[in-house]
Copies of this chain bind each other. A is one copy, B any other.
């Protein structure tokens, strides 16, 4: 005796999501039975829509339901400055904090030769085109402080050499409120290297 096939299918589907194992998938599949019909029908429809409606913005590669995303459509922003991020969800964080009013450029991941991800795979030619066409004056690299992030940042600053565009990298260091004792050695090294003189 096993579960009815609908439940088995739900378990299989939940298991395909990252971080969800057999036990959790079973619990989630059974919990679906207790959710109201309206939510389930929205859930079912949204899953389908994720394959048909969601696309990438042709300008910045952000998630979008139209050719151009909401941010690129907004003409009131500062068009001389571009923030380069790894994934669409990074944009949401910046926008929530309301700390940046330029435009974004979303890469398709970070350079990682070990994983077979080369410079030509991460939407860089598009970035170069934008820099030239849109007269970008400054690029802020907001990538993960990892080997891949550093490699990608370095590569981008290399390929934009000579274009006259100012390139900066967001600061890596000790997070606010953190105990120095608990910070890993790489972060501490970065924090020391990036020290600022107080005048």
Q: Which residues from chain A sit less than 8 Å from chain B, CB to CB?
A: 1-7, 9-10, 12-13, 16-20, 24, 26-28, 30-33, 35, 37, 39-51, 53-54, 63-65, 70-71, 74, 88-89, 91-92, 95
Please state if A3 and B63 are interface contacts (CB–CB under 8 Å).
yes
Please state if A47 and B44 are interface contacts (CB–CB under 8 Å).
yes
Majority secondary structure, A binding face: helix
Closest chain B residue to A6, Cβ basis: B49
Counting chain B CB atoms within 10 Å of each CB, which of A12, A39, A50 scores highest? A50
Contacts of A92 in B (CB 8 A): 1-3
What is the distance, in angstroms, from A53's C-beta to the closest C-beta of chain B? 5
CA distance A41 to B9 in the complex (A): 11
What is the distance, in angstroms, from A86's C-beta to the closest C-beta of chain B? 13
Please state if A89 and B30 are interface contacts (CB–CB under 8 Å).
yes
